[in-house]
Structure 1
Amino acid sequence: MEIINTEIPNLIIIKPEVYSDPRGYFLESFSEKRYKEAGINAQFIQDNISKSSYGVIRGLHYQLAPYSQSKLVSVIEGTILDVAVDLRKNSPTFGQHFAIELSDENKLQFFIPQGFAHGFSVLSESAVVVYKCDNYFSQEAERGIAYNDANLKIDWKIPAEKAIISSKDSILPSFKEAEHNFVYSI
């Protein structure tokens, strides 16, 4: 397993070892011991699966502390653009985002710690996304930011006329108006 640090502190890309042969492939998608050795100390307690079609943009979602969630995201079918936005006050990258393509071909994983908003767009005909969370879903703590916020300038790689947005996501506030309560710590 290879750990790739991004330019945003604590956002990590994981490149698992993939063993391929004529039958297919094998990879270890998670090992608590190996991830802890790599500095990922989240204790995952919930797994989620999402299937979406081309053009779907989900997000940007997060939960307020103390219900915030770290996520370990991967794709088992298709291709997505996965995006994390730093919401940690006093962070040197507060308000910045990082985007990466995750796919069934590259088999990369994206670790998003607590204190980030998360979203993705589907770039293939369809995509199945799986992610581990270190906290349970809390409807009362659920918050979000508009996917098309002018200040964030996220290129979702989906033409505007082909974007599919849920009614819930279409009314999320701007980055400047969104409520968040995360603090950056080294």
Structure 2
Amino acid sequence: MGEKEIPGYTYGTQAVAKSPVSLEDFDLLKKTVLFTEEDEKYLRLAGEVLGDQVEEVLDLWYGFVGSHPHLVRYFSDLQGEPDSSYLAAVRKRFAQWILDTCNRTYDQDWLNYQHEIGLRHYHTKKNKTDNVQSVPIISYRYLITFIYPITATIKPFLEKKGHSAEEVEKMHQAWFKSLLLQVTLWTNPYLRQEDY
């Protein structure tokens, strides 16, 4: 599926507002998590490794979310029943997110889209992209704690293409750093700007 065919995927378009985080502040965040050009290189390699495994990765992650009622509720209707069309639409964007994490240049468009993703988890835009009736926010605590399963479970997929243990570890560390950066950016709408 091409990017233009993904429902609600608006990366790099006028529909995405400019991030309140400046590129200069973003550079400081990258320095804080020790994100370097080497990490960019290993994310690209991870993109090559994961490219044909995206659906398998999503099967694992969706199985994890689906097996935990406190997580699947964020993709359920107001009666608490999982909304299959909502889950399917989000899955297409989630697949593209894996590719974007590995392959995009972390420039202004990327920074803007991270803010958009944050808004879609918060009251501001939760449910609006897919025009669904669900809970109005993804709780802040689950943005943070979801970092671990999304990091831990990716490593076996990075190991599947015969790269050395050192290369796999570098891909995994680059993934982890990127995820920390992204979730940090996604939490912006949850906080008063003077506290962010």
Give the TM-score of the pair, scaled to structure 2. 0.28
Higher relative contact order (CA 8 A, sep 6+): 2
Q: By percentage of residues, which structure has more strand?
A: 1
